[in-house]
Amino acid sequence: MNQTRNYEFTIIVPVFNEEACMEPLVKELSDYLPQAACKTCVLFVNDGSSDSSLEKIQNACKANPDFFYLSYKRNSGKSAALKAGFDACFSEYLGYIDADLQTKPEDFNTLLEYRKEYTLVAGIRMNRQDTRSKKIQSKIGNAFRRSMTHDGAIDTGCPLKVMRTDAAKKMPFFTGMHRFIQALILLQEGTAKQIHVPSYARVAGVSKYSMWNRLVGPFLDCLALRWMRKNYINYHVSNTDLVPVYPTGWTEADSNTGAGPDTRKNANQD
């Protein structure tokens, strides 16, 4: 049985070559769990790190029964890491945070307060602790993306979000997807709320982003999203004689062995 089913909320943490951040990250997450607004676990996703990040993740998971991880050998990017985490998660709600701790786990409680009212609750960073050039690139990128998507998202780069797991699993995924989560939630007729949260300086390591993946890459992704918005299909099953309804990728054998998800919670998610 997937252990995340035993929790209401799962924090997904994508990790790529963040060995210098791991000690403070693990401490912050460990300190937060007893104070979380609901029963919470942590799922690290090692995105093909070439440093000692995986070893540090494994040690943290051995020391904390509420920590779990998955890992793959080749670096595939943040969107792929998030998709892997979403696919592996079966708590009712999930969220994510970056390993650099420019946002803090304790601020999830502010977002979790609205989890039952909205499909997505997203943070907006206040007083960002970034270089002037990075702030300018981010501001231009966000303004352009809003003009293309009309999703109303103010700070798509804020790595502090809470959403319904069934909605997260239904989002169409592509490289750069993490910048368009609010647009993709609205695409499936979900609802979104944005809340200001504190911002902090990176605790260690270096940013993995450049001018290309802050400005040029998102331009191409916007074109893909506009096409998707025009052609996306929403449907709602009102009745069926198929019992039970299984999520894609799970079979009756999975359910019989207890390996599959709770079908009562996940019915009609596909």
Radius of gyration of the chain (CA): 18
pTM, 2 dp = 0.75
Yes or no: say if 171 and 161 are a contact pair by the CB < 8 Å rule. Answer: no
So where are the chain's domains? Answer: 3-234, 238-270
Residue 160 CB coordination number (10 Å): 27
pLDDT tens digits, one per residue of 159-215? 899 999 999 999 887 777 788 899 889 988 999 999 999 988 766 655 555 555 555
Residue 86 token pair? 């979403």
Distance CA 241, CA 72 (A): 39
- Residue 7 is predicted with a pLDDT of 98
CATH class of 3-234: alpha beta
Residue 59 token pair? 């040690």
Burial class (CB in 10 A: 0-12, 13-18, 19+), 183: buried
- Residue 126 is predicted with a pLDDT of 84
Residue 80 token pair? 């792929």
Extract the residue ranges of the chain whose pLDDT is less than 70.
128-150, 152, 202-220, 222-227, 229, 231-236, 243-270
3-state secondary structure of 65: coil
Backbone φ/ψ region at 232: left (φ over 0), alpha (ψ -120 to 50), beta: beta
**Helices of type H across 77-189:** 78-88, 108-112, 132-149, 165-170, 181-187
What string of DSSP letters covers 100-119? T-SS-GGGHHHHHTTTTT-S
Residues 6+ apart with CB under 8 A from 229: 149, 183, 187
Greatest distance between any 2 Cα atoms in the chain? 59
